[in-house]
Amino acid sequence: MQNDDVKKPFGQIEQYLASYQVPYPSEDEISDTIETLRQYVPSKRKLLVTRYKTFRRIFVDMLITINFMSVSYWIITILLFTIGYLSAVQFSQNPYKLSFVFAPIPMTFGLIEVFRGREEGVTELELSCKISPQEMLITRIIVIGIYTAVLNASLCGFVFLHGQANVILWRITLLWLTPMDLIGSITLWFCSRIKGTYSVMLSLFCWSGASYVFVTNEGLFRNFLYLNPLCYLIPLFIGIGIFVKEIIKLKDRYIFEGRNSSWN
């Protein structure tokens, strides 16, 4: 009996809902709504123009950022890779080992330049240009990353063309790309937490020890060299994940109140 009393109100509600009809708009009303909203949809042309302006702005910021970077950084890294090239071509050193050892050094060493303004107290001077702090930070990392990749690719290309023809290009590319990505991202992780100079020195010291063990142990290095290419993807993706996460954190940390990014 009690169950019937409980079910009765629900039955009435069900009957009411069954009889209720949702008014469906006419075709004219639908067309009018679409036309009204169409003005808020960015056209393909406007979207392309916006993207062009954004990339152009980033490129200009990169050129401005280069002016704030130390000349000694460019000279030292170019000299280092010149020595690597001569060692591979003139002195017949193993190009795989040279690429592996030298690969992360420009990126790691360059992170000193990324955080130099913060540690030398010249952030105010850097802010005198029309770039926000987060833009200055990110463009420096982009510049150093591109520069490191170009150096490594150039070294491998020169060795491949003028040095040792038995070098497998895709294998030596993976061999420099993996440590550059992984060691560079780990160093960035350290730099965002402790003083950049100390982090870089620590990373270079650890990398020197690890790379020495690899290149002096022929069996270990040979096994690493002839790994399945898919095995290189694991440290590559780990490095990319760390890198992206730290970039987002650093960008949020360097955003000043009331200072909007011109990249948006």
pLDDT tens digits along 23-77: 777 777 777 777 777 766 666 666 566 666 666 776 777 777 777 777 888 888 8
Name the CA radius of gyration of the chain, rounded: 29
Domain ranges of the chain: 46-258
* Alpha-carbon gap, residue 255 to 264, rounded angstroms: 13
> Do 105 and 181 meet the contact criterion of CB atoms below 8 Å apart?
no
Looking at 149-158, 160-169, 225-234, which range is the least confident one? 160-169
Q: Is the pLDDT of residue 235 over 60?
A: yes
pLDDT band for position 200 (cuts 50, 70, 90): confident
Residue by residue, DSSP assigns 153-200 as HHHHHHIIIII-TT--HHHHHHHHHHHHHHHHHHHHHHHTTS-HHHHH
**Tokens 């050094």, residue?**
105
Coil, strand or helix at 227? coil
Q: Is the pLDDT of residue 94 over 70?
A: yes
**Amino acid found at 180:** M
Give 111-121 pLDDT, tens digit per residue: 887 777 665 55
pLDDT band for position 198 (cuts 50, 70, 90): confident
Query: Looking at residue 127, what DSSP letter applies?
Result: T
Average pLDDT, the chain: 75
Provide the Cα torsion 167, 170, 173, 177; round to 10°.
-150
